[in-house]
Amino acid sequence: MSQDTLFDKVWDLHKVSNLPGGSDQIFIGLHLIHEVTSPQAFGALKDKNLKVKFPNRTVATVDHIVPTDNQSRPFKDNLAEQMISTLEKNCLQHKIRFFNIGSGNQGIVHVVAPELGLTQPGMTIACGDSHTSTHGAFGSIAFGIGTSQVRDVLATQTIAMNKLKVRQIWCENQLSNGVYAKDLVLHIINKLGVKAGVGFAYEFAGPAINALSMEERMTICNMSIEGGARCGYINPDEKTYSYLKNKLCAPKNEHWNKALAWWKSLKSDENSIYDDVVKLDASKIEPTVTWGITPGQSVGINQQIPLLDDLSPNDKLVAEEAYEYMSFKPGQSIKNTPVEVCFIGSCTNGRISDLRVATEVLKGKKVSKNVKAFVVPGSEQVASEAKQEGLDKIFKDSGFQWREPGCSMCLAMNSDKLIGNQVSASSSNRNFKGRQGSPSGRTLLMSPAMVAAAAINGKVSDVREFIN
Amino acid sequence: MQSAFTPPSGKISQINGQCISLIGNDIDTDRIIPARFLKCVDFDSLGESVFEDDRKTLKGKHPFDLKENKKASILIVNSNFGCGSSREHAPQALMRWGIKAIIGESFADIFYSNCIAIGIPCFTLPKNSIQKIQKYEDNKFLFLEIDLKNSIAKSKDLNFNLEIKESSRKMFLSGEWDATSTLLANENLIENKLNDLPYLKFNNHLL
Cα–Cα distance for residue pair A354/A108, rounded to 1 Å: 15
Residues A75 and A170 in one domain: yes
The answer to whether residue A283 sits within a structural domain is no
Cα–Cα distance for residue pair A255/A118, rounded to 1 Å: 14
Cα–Cα distance for residue pair B23/B21, rounded to 1 Å: 6
Helix, strand, coil shares of chain B, percent, nearest 5, are 40, 15, 40
Which structural domain range is residue A321 located in?
288-465
With an 8 Å Cβ cutoff, are B198 and A199 in contact? no
Residues A95 and A221 in one domain: yes
The answer to whether residue A275 sits within a structural domain is no
> Chain A residues with CB inside 8 Å of B110's CB?
130, 143-146, 225, 230
Q: Would strands A423-426 and A442-445 be described as parallel, antiparallel, or unpaired?
A: parallel
The answer to whether residue A85 sits within a structural domain is yes
The H or E element spanning position A31 is: strand A30-33
What does the pLDDT look like over A112-140, one tens digit per residue?
A: 999 999 999 999 999 999 999 999 999 99
pTM of the model: 0.97
* First vs last C-alpha separation in chain B: 46
User: CB burial class (10 A; 0-12, 13-18, 19+) of residue A332?
Assistant: middle
Beta-carbon count within 10 A of A50 CB: 16
* First vs last C-alpha separation in chain A: 46
A65–B contact, CB cutoff 8 A: yes
B168–A contact, CB cutoff 8 A: yes
Rounded to 10 degrees, the C-alpha dihedral B107/B110/B112/B114 comes to -150
Cα–Cα distance for residue pair A165/A143, rounded to 1 Å: 14
CB A46 within 8 Å of CB A93: no
The answer to whether residue A88 sits within a structural domain is yes
What does the pLDDT look like over A213-239, one tens digit per residue?
A: 999 999 999 999 999 999 999 999 999
Residues A211 and A71 in one domain: yes
CB A371 within 8 Å of CB A340: yes
Cα–Cα distance for residue pair A70/A73, rounded to 1 Å: 9
Residues A142 and A43 in one domain: yes
Task: Tell me how many degrees the CA angle A112-A428-A309 measures, rounded to the nearest 5.
Answer: 145
The answer to whether residue A379 sits within a structural domain is yes
Residues A259 and A302 in one domain: no
Answer positive or negative: Cα dihedral of A218, A224, A230, A236: negative
The answer to whether residue A277 sits within a structural domain is no
Q: What is the CATH number of the domain that holds A407?
A: 3.30.499.10
- CA neighbor of B85 nearest in space, from B64, B114, B122: B114
Which residues of A are part of a known binding site for [4Fe-4S] cluster? 347, 407, 410
What is the ipTM, given to two decimal places?
A: 0.96
Q: Which of residues 290-309 of A touch B (CB under 8 A)?
A: 293-294
pLDDT by residue for chain A (468 residues), tens only, comes to: 999 999 999 999 999 999 988 899 999 999 999 999 999 999 999 999 999 999 999 999 999 999 999 999 999 999 999 999 999 999 999 999 999 999 999 999 999 999 999 999 999 999 999 999 999 999 999 999 999 999 999 999 999 999 999 999 999 999 999 999 999 999 999 999 999 999 999 999 999 999 999 999 999 999 999 999 999 999 999 999 999 999 999 999 999 999 999 999 999 999 999 999 999 999 999 999 999 999 999 999 999 999 999 999 989 999 999 999 999 999 999 999 999 999 999 999 999 999 999 999 999 999 999 999 999 999 999 999 999 999 999 999 999 999 999 999 999 999 999 999 999 999 999 999 999 999 999 999 999 999 999 999 999 999 999 986
The answer to whether residue A273 sits within a structural domain is no
Beta-carbon count within 10 A of B14 CB: 10
Least Cα separation, residue A105 to chain B (angstroms): 16
The domain tally of chain A equals 2
The answer to whether residue A24 sits within a structural domain is yes
